[in-house]
Structure 1
């Protein structure tokens, strides 16, 4: 059935039914608008293909629930922008793999907590720079090995305290120079041995006092040993045994003083040997004479 929409118009409304075998068809044509109202349920079944073309805008409102089930593949192409608003919760479940590609920028804003659980491996590849800003605490927990590689320079800045705890061994290898600056105190505690190997020179500069406390024996081995100081003192058991002053004076403090050598020689513009008591001993007199003459003084020590 075909009817003209208005007198003198080329438009028309049409409803056509074709019953020829193999060409069955129900055709509906609306010259302008079409309104369809179903007061109750509606069932629609298409046993073949369905093609829908909307040349302008399309709007769909579902006041209840909506279920979409696709037995095979589902492909959607949006030539312009797409906006999705979920006012409550949203759950997405993928039983297989999930691939997502963004050719431009991507921004994600989470108002509260973000949790990501990966049962196996995870990899992130950033071709250029990456910046991470955390307003509160930051924690990384690695159950096994942790490897970090930086191809260029690396800088770490900590505004407050920095604590590092290593339960096992720790090794640091620096191919070139290394510099450490400490603005306050520096304390190192080693409960076992420590070994320091320097291939070239070693220089230590202390602007104030320096103290070394060794509970047991200590040894210095060198081809040449030099001590430079305004005053040098050697103490044994809390008592000063030797003092060398900046003026050139050298004092030896001893309860018993023994010189043992094959050839002992005293030489000076003025040599003064004094012994406590009224008179000098024979040894003192001999030392005095040897010093004045500049000749060596040799005496066999007892038991030699």
Structure 2
């Protein structure tokens, strides 16, 4: 390779090589005819290696670029600030691992869209607090399971609009180690679809407090099973109503109403009050009616009427019969 020599101060005893010229044996690093607008600095790896480091410049109008090639590692150290301004697009490709360490704050601002794809796992650890603000809508899709773990308090607030939780195929379970308080300022609706059941198990006491009316609409039969006693109390009245029947308790009175018949039964004893005015009373061995010191008794041995005075009267005929009739 030929060199270009200059002399310091024109002194031939002080030659200085300031350049070189390529020849047939030492060719340029690029094809001069096809890439004559390129300039480069290339250093080969040694010894006896095809590797090289290179800094190349393309000066063709409209196609200018700077190309850097590091045969192995590329280290960059800036003692103070470092600013990079890319006026069009930028692409970074790392074939293996990447580590980025920021000793102080970091700000990332994307004026249009941002898309991030992680083919495998992702872990994020925040040493202190985290704030996330989405001014529009947010959609999160998780194809597998999800676990949400909060080691301290959690608060969710929906300022406007509705909140919907939909479990399409599985079940929803909630477990509270402490207490639970729910406040609903308007209507509260619970719908268990047809053919499904609802079970409530309270190991302690179960209290319902309603400031206004308490209404239960039921399509089938209601059954109440108690291991202890049942106690129903009202400051006003208690009323049970069925078609053509009612029982009302108020002001120290009990009013039983039936359109056809009222029957009281205990063992083999029965008292029946019928709508036609008849009253039937029957007992297995004896029927007794008493009032004050008077009493009437009916049994297999006969009929007894006793009292200070017993009066028998009829508008037409009074008939007394028997094998023996004893008066006084």
Q: TM-score range by the shorter chain?
A: 0.7 to 0.9
The structure that is strand-richer by fraction is: 2
Q: Displacement of 1:113 after TM fit?
A: 1.3
**Structure 1 partner of 2:24:** none
Contact 1:2–1:13 (Cα < 8 Å) also in 2? yes
After TM superposition, give the deviation of residue 199 of structure 1 in Å.
7.5
Q: 1:146 aligns with which of 183, 188, 192?
A: 188
Indicate which of 123, 132, 139 corresponds to 1:83: 123
In the alignment, does 2:232 pair up with 1:188? yes
Cross-structure match for 2:218: 174
Describe the SS at the equivalent of 1:89: coil
Separation in 2 of the partners of 1:102 and 1:19? 51
Q: Distance in 2 between matches of 1:214 and 1:225?
A: 29
TM-score computed with the length of structure 2 as normaliser: 0.70
Choose between structure 1 and 2 for higher RCO, CA contacts under 8 A separated by at least 6 residues. Answer: 1
Cross-structure match for 2:59: 19
1 CA distance for matches of 2:208 and 2:284? 40
SS of residue in 1 equivalent to 2:241: coil
Q: Is there any run of 5+ residues in structure 2 with no aligned partner, and where?
A: 1-40, 262-273
Equivalent in the alignment of 2:47: 7
Mapped to 1, the partners of 2:208 and 2:146 lie a distance apart of: 35
| Structure 1: 5+ residue stretches without partners | 203-211, 275-304
Given that 1:234 and 1:240 are in contact with CA atoms closer than 8 Å, whether structure 2 keeps it comes out as: no
Structure 1 stretch displaced more, 167-176 or 179-188: 167-176
DSSP 3-state at the match of 1:135: coil
Q: Which residue of 2 aligns with 1:300?
A: none
Cα distance between partner residues in 2 of 1:193 and 1:257 = 41
Taking the TM superposition and a 5 Å limit, the aligned residue runs for 1:9-88 are 9-88=49-128
Check if 1:124 corresponds to 2:165: yes
In structure 2, distance between residues paired with 1:183 and 1:240: 43
- The answer (yes or no) to whether the contact 1:2–1:12 under 8 Å persists in 2 is yes
> Which structure would you say has the larger Rg?
2
Distance 1:5 1:113, change over 3 A: same
